[in-house]
């Protein structure tokens, strides 16, 4: 059980690495929390430092989720324990928690979308990749990342009730996947409350518009 708890803590710390903050600080010399929307994530980073570096931030944030599910979780399964069958989803979930409430920036992080996508792809590749496709299509049509992000999570959540993700990770508890997907979706929607309000008012900024 000690190793399982250690794996969860490491997942949280890895998820807490604020790549958007680091890249914006390195390449523009400013605090991303004081730029644009103030969000420490891919979309705001793209507005501040451009699409090329923004994509690197996106991939790095996705990588945190993938690493937690596929690698760090194995630490918690070395010794037989009651959490063994839940470790991939627990580690993935806490990586997302770390991204949103990072200990390195006084718990001011991103909205969890990119890291959630990494977790989705690692836990259930087909559902994760289909959800990525949904995100890309909706963002391409509407130009609103917030809308694509919300529907991406809802889509993955729905697909977990159609696909058997245990085919991809041996002995994973499918109901743990489904419940975690629901929790992630609720958190992501909650974190996008301000975006939803701006959408209703017609004030939401479209993707790709860079800060001066």
pLDDT digits (tens, 9 = 90+) for 34-82: 998 899 999 999 999 999 999 999 999 999 999 999 999 999 888 787 8
Task: List C-alpha distances in Å: 212 to 36, 47, 49, 50, 103.
Answer: 10, 9, 10, 11, 29
- The owner of tokens 């008012």 is 201
Distance CA 61, CA 53 (A): 12
The answer to whether the beta carbons of residues 22 and 94 sit under 8 Å apart is no
Per residue in 102-149, pLDDT (tens digit) is 999 999 999 999 999 999 999 999 999 999 999 999 999 999 999 999
Task: Report the share of the chain in percent with pLDDT over 70.
Answer: 96
Would you state the structure tokens that stand for residue 202, as one six-digit string? 């017609």
pLDDT of the residue at 168: 66
Burial of 208 (0-12, 13-18, 19+ CB in 10 A): middle
Write out the chain in H/E/C secondary structure: CHHHHHHHHHHHHHHCCCHHHHHHHHHHCCCHHHCCCCCCCHHHHHHHHCHHHHHHHHHHHHHHHHHHHHHHHHHCCCCCCCCHHHHHHHHHHHHHHHHHCCHHHCCCCCCCHHHHHHHHHHHCHHHHHHHHHHHHHHHHHHCCHHHHHHHHHHHHHHHCCCCCHHHCCCCCCHHHHHHHHHHHHHHHHHHCHHHHHHHHHCCCCCCCCCCC
Q: How many other CB atoms are found less than 10 A from the CB of residue 184?
A: 24
Distance CA 124, CA 167 (A): 8
Average pLDDT of every residue of the chain: 92
Distance CA 31, CA 29 (A): 7
Q: What is the pTM of this model?
A: 0.92
pLDDT of the residue at 166: 66
pLDDT, average across residues 201-209: 81
């Amino acid at each position: 059980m000690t190793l399982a708890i250690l794996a969860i803590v490491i997942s949280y710390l890895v998820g807490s690495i604020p790549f958007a903050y680091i890249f914006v600080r390195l390449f523009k010399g400013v605090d991303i929390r004081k730029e644009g929307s103030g969000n420490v994530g891919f979309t705001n980073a793209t507005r501040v430092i451009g699409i090329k570096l923004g994509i690197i931030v996106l991939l790095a944030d996705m990588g945190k989720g993938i690493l937690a599910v596929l690698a760090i979780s194995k630490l918690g399964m070395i010794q037989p324990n009651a959490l063994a069958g839940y470790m991939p989803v627990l580690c993935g979930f806490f990586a997302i928690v770390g991204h949103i409430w990072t200990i390195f920036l006084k718990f001011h992080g991103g909205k969890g979308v990119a890291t959630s996508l990494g977790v989705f792809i690692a836990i259930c590749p087909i559902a994760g990749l289909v959800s990525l496709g949904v995100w890309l299509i909706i963002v391409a049509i509407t130009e609103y990342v917030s809308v694509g992000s919300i529907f991406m999570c809802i889509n993955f959540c729905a697909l977990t009730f159609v696909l058997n993700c245990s085919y991809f990770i041996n002995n994973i508890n499918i109901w743990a996947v489904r419940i975690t997907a629901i929790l992630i979706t609720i958190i992501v929607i909650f974190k996008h409350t301000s975006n939803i309000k701006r959408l209703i008012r017609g004030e939401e900024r479209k993707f790709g518009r860079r800060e001066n």
